[in-house]
Structure 1
Amino acid sequence: MAKILIVDDAAFMRMMIKDILEKNGFEVIGEANNGIKAVELYKKERPDVVTMDITMPDMDGIEAVKAIKALDPSAKIIMCSAMGQQTMVMDAIKAGARDFIVKPFQPDRVLEAISKVVNS
């Protein structure tokens, strides 16, 4: 069973994605509301996959991806973006993210992205 870290500054978004994942047999091992906490939790928990919001206070998703990839070059990170953040998504992919999902979350797309990344 894949262990997943959810990173989003909006509690509602974390709850939505956690619900989708847990209903489908994934284990959510932690949640963070900014990039700094995401990096700390990654170090501690070593999840199989991270879902990472782009726009957050203190440290944004792109900086957090760079920090996590510096710790673990094989880290598997999926970006979560709102519509119209394509440039930032491309920056995140260049920084090492494997895939992205767009808000509002479509359960099928979330599961497809997670499964693809877990098995890559």
Structure 2
Amino acid sequence: MIALSEMLQAHVLIVDDQHANVLLLCELLRNAGYTRVSSTMDPTEVAGLHAAHRYDLILLDLQMPVLDGFAVMAQLQAVEPSGYLPVLVLTAQPNHKLRALQAGARDFISKPFDLVEVETRIRNMLEVRLLYQRLAQHNQLLEQTVTERTAELRESEARFKSFTELSSDWYWEQDAKGRFTNISGPVLEMLDLQLADDGLTAIATPGGRDAGQRRELDELIARREPFIDFVYHRIDAAGARQYLQVSGEPRFDQAGRFIGYRGIGLDITARAPDTLP
């Protein structure tokens, strides 16, 4: 809901080539408590005035010399970036009402004026207009918040990746199908894998990894479980036993859907080979 005090501060423009009508509407609005009421009897000024002041409501007479109300609305369309014309037309011609609504007007007031109807229609339209503006502001704030949050997440992800690359010998990311989407360091060599022709799918190669340890790690990943400091050994190209330590975590999106794994690995052969199996 829009508070009455907020509506009374709305910026209203009255456009009519009849001085008596301008005076009547100005007096009506000011007596009702509206504090920002402007007027013009020159329809050629309306588009420029709206571009400068962005009125919350324009009371627009349809029958005016030089430019009629339909021509004025066409000009307003060109300067209103939102496409929403805050126009309440004033007309004595019943057959003009539908055409005015099709041209972008939001409502109409019939001449001669019924002052109670005029005040009611103005208040109703201002409430809708201000709610529309509030929604637009909310959407803009939401979009800005999402943009800022996305930037923060990307920065955080970059910091995480930088840290893991500095603290490990290799880093990898996989999607939900187990395909490698990001590799840093000798990931494939250390896991005895090679990529298929698609450049993403990993294929186990005959290598020096212990079959039981390979199966144990594969089962952890299949169950989408995290693993910390999982140690395994392999025989390198020179025939020497190599000890490796790997950690990984499953990743999920905001809806809780599994989207893959990421992890790091270290060559710990030189650290304490006598204590390792």
- Common fold by TM > 0.5: yes
What are the ranges of 5 or more consecutive residues in structure 2 without an aligned counterpart?
1-8, 129-277
Question: Greater strand share, 1 or 2?
Answer: 2
Partner of 1:105: 113
Letter in 2 for 1:2: A
Taking the aligned partners of 2:48 and 2:39, their CA distance within structure 1 comes to 11
8 Å Cα contact 1:7-1:34 kept in structure 2: yes
How many residue pairs end up in the alignment? Answer: 118
1:5 to 3, 10, 13: 13
Taking the aligned partners of 2:36 and 2:112, their CA distance within structure 1 comes to 19
2:55 to 47, 71, 89: 47
Return the TM-score normalized by structure 2: 0.41
Partner of 1:65: 73
8 Å Cα contact 2:44-2:67 kept in structure 1: yes
- RMSD between aligned residues: 1.3
Letter in 2 for 1:38: V
Partner of 1:74: 84
What do the CA deviations read for 1:6-59 (whole angstroms, capped 9, x no partner)?
A: 000001100001111111112344212132112222122211000000000111
Taking the aligned partners of 2:38 and 2:56, their CA distance within structure 1 comes to 12
Taking the aligned partners of 1:8 and 1:17, their CA distance within structure 2 comes to 10
Return the TM-score normalized by structure 1: 0.90
1:26 to 8, 14, 34: 34
Q: Is the partner of 1:117 in helix, strand or coil?
A: helix
Q: Whose Rg is larger? A: 2
Greater alpha carbon shift after TM alignment, 42-51 vs 8-17: 42-51
8 Å Cα contact 1:54-1:81 kept in structure 2: yes
8 Å Cα contact 1:4-1:27 kept in structure 2: no
List 4+ stretches of structure 1 deviating above 4 A. none
8 Å Cα contact 2:26-2:37 kept in structure 1: no
Taking the aligned partners of 2:107 and 2:35, their CA distance within structure 1 comes to 19
What are the ranges of 5 or more consecutive residues in structure 1 without an aligned counterpart?
none
Letter in 1 for 2:77: K
Taking the aligned partners of 1:8 and 1:25, their CA distance within structure 2 comes to 21
